[in-house]
Amino acid sequence: RGRIALLEGSFAEAAERIDAATEVYRAAGSAWGVANSVGSLAEVALAEGRLPAAQELFLCAVDGLVEAGAEPYAVFRLTGLANTLTAAGRHRQAALVAGIAEQWIDELGVPLGIAPYQRHRGWTADALGAEFATTVEEGRAMARTDAALRHLVA
């Protein structure tokens, strides 16, 4: 229900419902559920324009999902981080994160045609022009550890 509230633009309700779901996942011992809920809270923060909070929450979600063995979900949350960087006007970092995500997608063999990511990727491509493709390629060669991602977006 939290995602529905988010899509309807009811951000406070979305956060409340996602927080409640997070507690259920925590009580059940579901590391995946907790990390994915953190990613949903990041989406709320992004939608509200709280970009530093969104960035931190997406980083936590990616790390938690990797630890939970849910890499396809981690990639999805990594695209949310790229969206956050685009929204902040940090297009070079967004393109590097896009490269990291796209390399990971290729490794996993998981198709990822997420409309918000594609839209933000287009904005970053427009902002960087000819530099976009080379920056994405540079990102594809980067490490995707939590420490590396945190250094990249610092």
**pLDDT at 119 > cutoff 80:** yes
The contacts of residue 3 (CB under 8 Å, 6+ apart) are 14, 40
Q: What are phi and psi of 71, to 5 degrees?
A: -60, -40
Cα–Cα distance, 1 to 23 (Å, whole number): 15
pLDDT digits 0-9 by tens, 86-116: 999 999 999 999 999 989 999 998 776 666 7
Contact 101, 82 (CB under 8 A): yes
**pLDDT at 44 > cutoff 80:** yes
Q: Packing angle between helix 71-87 and helix 31-48, nearest 10 degrees?
A: 20
The overall pTM is greater than 0.85: yes
| Predicted pLDDT at 19 | 94
| Predicted pLDDT at 137 | 96
pLDDT, mean of residues 136-143: 95
pLDDT confidence bin for 1, thresholds 50/70/90: confident
| Predicted pLDDT at 114 | 66
**pLDDT at 54 > cutoff 80:** yes
